[in-house]
Amino acid sequence: MDLAYTAKQQAFREEIRQWLAAHVPAQPLQSFDTAEGFAQHRQWEAVLNEGRWGMVTWPEEFGGRGCDLIDWLIFEEEYYRARAPLRVNQNGIFLLGPTLMEYGTDEQKARILPKMACGEEVWAQGWSEPNAGSDMAAIRARADLKGDRYIINGQKIWSTRAVWADWLFGMFRTDPESSRHHGLTFILVPLSTPGITVRPIPQLDGRPGFAEVFFDDVEVAVENRLGDEGAGWQVAMATAGFERGLMLRSPARFQETARRLVELYRANRTAADGDPGVKDAVMRAWLDAESYCLATYQTACRLGKGGKIGAESSTNKIFWSELDQTMHATAMNILGARAELLPHAPDAAGVGGWLDGWLFSQSGPIYAGTNEIQRNIIAERMLGMPR
Amino acid sequence: MDFTFTEDQLLFQASTREFLTGEVTPARIRAGWESPDGRDPALWQQLAELGLTGITVAEEFGGLGMNELDFVLLAQECGYVALPEPLVNTALVSVPLLQQLGGELAASWLPRVATGEARVLAGIEQNLLVEDAHVADLLLLQHGDAWYALAPEQVELRRNESVDPSRRLYAVAIKPGAEPVASGQQAAALTLAALDRGALGCAAQALGLAQRMVDMAVSYSSDRQQFGKPIGSFQAVKHLMANVAVRLEYARAPVHRAACSVANAEAVASRAVSHAKLMACEAANLAAKHSIQVHGAMGYTWEVDLHIFMKKAWALANTWGDTAFHKGRIADYIFNDGAELGAGTTFR
């Protein structure tokens, strides 16, 4: 065990820091859940990609740097320290990207990954259906193979980024006789295909961060199938593993929230200490964010030596989502009567992004598999409790 | 950056676990409750033969010359079986104290600690009482701004009974005439080091205790039937244990980091230890709370072994620095100017 960065890792950090200092937009971009903000974020992805920072863990041939997970964590730390824009293509680069590396054909990788890396093609998810939420194996949307095309009919819902995205990845039932997690196939669908209707769904902040997607005899070429027909569940589980795992929510995000929370507390200390629980909550936030960082480094090092990530990755998703919610709840308590004010309200001084973060934190325990589902997975697969 | 243990460290952990789970059974622990001094000389001799009493003793004095990082996984295993013998305090507190004091004191006592012939135990005032002072052949005691090395005849002991019958706690009064072996700044440094090492030992044991209580509750809930099926199949029961698993998962890395920090005498070591102890003891207390709930009325009995582990977890949470002390150290850092917080500062 040696908990010091190598000279190479330190140089890597310095290189990112300098590049970000020179390139991160001085003014924050608008929300990527607006048309204008989406375009701004897509442009930022192109800038990132020009610097070859789009996805540092990818092989060089796809626009990456072939970095290991420690480099990835360093990149994320600098990215969040620099307050660089959120990643509009996170469904693509963090979830589908790694899955493509594992299950994609060479043709698919060459066709899809470079355009994903530069933001030319932004990806949405198409997993949940109105009657297949936590019970994802209840998927009913059909994809019937006719010649060299799948004919897709059905409905997806809660498709994040689908309003302005270019492609959707999802799971469809290709075997009409099948049930549960059998007979499902992972298919990549261009959202511009005739027969697709995208109906935006406003989120808590009023912006259409997700959508319903209706498929009416939508024809998709068979080369857009990822993995074998009928193997969709296995492919999707790989994606879910990455999602809960290291990529989507690296510790840097929560460490920065914890740091801002400490600052908020110190700036409002006299009033905040009127509630004796606040100081403890702020301190716990810092302890937990640091613990998440330490545990992630430990996992990354273990994976780097050939270890595998298993059911314990479900602990990760619970830990960060509940931490995020708790941190923002504490911030709301510190802000007191100002907490409910939108940032542009005339008397909202010092409120900053806390309200936005508070709203978004409500979704953490729900998306990417509810925390109740994660707890079932932990109990059954990690602890071995009876089904 | 390498946050993994070596193959050797993991093998040592596995063999220690095998030994401890085989020898230190709940039945043997209960037998200790009935014995006059509560300790088990035969077990201590076995531990010595495995090299464990001398694990941190320098090789020149007959020990294995290992450090806190080598020992931390073994301390977890001591927690897993709720080992009543003072191995963790010996390896992490007494032996390093002797080595820091050096000279004749170290040269004469360390070899005998390694062979198991002698027990050297340590106490600091912050702990109120001294664990296992009654079996110490030499007591290292902090009193005011000085440290003393005391033979049994130089002290008077007054036993204080603990809720955990395995813990033997004594108020120690020094008889007149004892001369300090360290004072002033040197003594203050020894006290801080002893406190950090003792707290690290608590944290590591708490991880093992938490795991043991989880294992017991999972096992019980898989066997115990109600409504025609194992109670462990009910979500309400599953989620109690899942919640413990989550807190435990994120308590491990801080403990390992603290061990590494202490072993390398890093500037952040004290803070890392407080972080580790808070996380690990909280996880162990949660494990106790949810495990007794899963055991139902059985968990509230003397007969079921769960309380062996619960009571030890409760005690460790407030010894070698109580929660107020360790939270205070964290708060003093993060709420003051000069704190380096946020992404990228963890390994500075």
CATH number for the domain spanning A356: value is 1.20.140.10
Distances (CA, A) of A248 to A77, A98, A252: 13, 11, 11
Q: Residue A255 and residue B346: Cβ atoms within 8 Å?
A: yes
- Residue A41, SS3? helix
Q: Which pLDDT tens digit goes with each residue over A241-277?
A: 654 467 778 899 999 999 999 999 999 999 999 999 9
CATH number at residue B234: 1.20.140.10
For the residues A48-59, what does the mean pLDDT come to? 94
In 3D, which of B279, B291, B281 has the Cα closest to residue B214? Answer: B291
Q: What is the dihedral of CA B279, B207, B166, B297, to 10 degrees?
A: 90
Is residue A237 a part of any domain in this protein? no
* A to B CB pairs, distance under 8 Å: 170
Enter the ipTM. Answer: 0.97
| A287: contact with B, CB 8 A cutoff | yes
Residue among A259, A383, A387 with most chain B CBs within 10 A, to mutate = A383
In 3D, which of A289, A13, A120 has the Cα closest to residue B346? Answer: A289
Q: Is pLDDT at B170 greater than 70 in this prediction? A: yes
| B189: contact with A, CB 8 A cutoff | no
| B69: contact with A, CB 8 A cutoff | yes
A255 with A357, same domain: the answer is: yes
Q: Which residues of B touch A315 (CB under 8 A)?
A: 245-246, 249-250
* The pLDDT of residue A242: 52
Q: Which pLDDT tens digit goes with each residue over A101-121?
A: 889 999 999 999 999 999 999
Q: Burial letters for A196-229: b for 16+ Cβ neighbours within 10 Å, e otherwise?
A: bebeeeebeeeebbbbbbbbeebebeeebbbbeb
Is residue B328 a part of any domain in this protein? yes
d(CA A377, CA A160): 24
A170 with A210, same domain: the answer is: yes
How many domains is chain B partitioned into structurally? 1
Query: Domain of A343?
Result: 249-382
The residues that bridge with A218 in the sheet, in sequence order, are: A152
In 3D, which of A187, A10, A183 has the Cα closest to residue A104? Answer: A187
Q: Residue A375 and residue B237: Cβ atoms within 8 Å?
A: no
| A71: contact with B, CB 8 A cutoff | no
The per-residue pLDDT of chain B, averaged, comes to: 97
Which position among A243, A263, A290, A340 bears the catalytic label? Answer: A243
Nearest-by-Cβ selection for A3 from B214, B229, B257: B257
Q: CA nearest B231 in A: which residue?
A: A386
Is residue B67 a part of any domain in this protein? no
How many domains is chain A partitioned into structurally? 3
CB contact set of A94 (below 8 Å; sequence gap of 6+): A87, A242, A243, A247, A248
Is residue A263 a part of any domain in this protein? yes
pLDDT range class, residue A240, cuts 50, 70, 90: low
Tokens of B226: 């109600």
| A5: contact with B, CB 8 A cutoff | yes
A243 is catalytic: yes
A31 with A65, same domain: the answer is: yes
Residue B324 Cα, gap to closest chain A Cα (Å): 11
Query: Domain of B205?
Result: 186-334
CA torsion through residues A154, A158, A160, A162, sign: positive
Is residue A204 a part of any domain in this protein? yes
pTM of the model: 0.97
Distances (CA, A) of A126 to A102, A168, A240, B319: 19, 6, 13, 52
| A33: contact with B, CB 8 A cutoff | no
Q: Residue A385 and residue B249: Cβ atoms within 8 Å?
A: no
Residue with tokens 């050797």: B8
Q: What is the 3-state secondary structure (H, E, C) of chain B?
A: CECCCCHHHHHHHHHHHHHHHHHCCHHHHHHHHHCCCCCCHHHHHHHHHCCCCCCCCCHHHCCCCCCHHHHHHHHHHHHHCCCCCCHHHHHHHHHHHHHHHCHHHHHHHHHHHHHCCCCEEEECHHHCCEECHHHCCEEEEEECCEEEEECHHHEEEEEEECCCCCCEEEEEEECCCCCCCEEHHHHHHHHHHHHHHHHHHHHHHHHHHHHHHHHHHHHHHHHCEECCEEHHHCHHHHHHHHHHHHHHHHHHHHHHHHHHHHHCCCCCHHHHHHHHHHHHHHHHHHHHHHHHHHHHHHHHCCCCCHHHHHHHHHHHHCCCCCHHHHHHHHHHHHCCCCCCCCCCCCCC
A255 with A378, same domain: the answer is: yes
Q: Which pLDDT tens digit goes with each residue over B36-93?
A: 899 999 999 999 999 999 999 999 999 999 999 999 999 999 999 999 999 999 999 9
The per-residue pLDDT of chain A, averaged, comes to: 94
Nearest-by-Cβ selection for A297 from B3, B239, B345: B3
Q: Residue A298 and residue B3: Cβ atoms within 8 Å?
A: yes
| A293: contact with B, CB 8 A cutoff | yes
- Residue A188, SS3? strand
For the residues B285-298, what does the mean pLDDT come to? 98
* The pLDDT of residue A327: 98
Q: Which pLDDT tens digit goes with each residue over B323-346?
A: 999 999 999 999 999 999 999 999
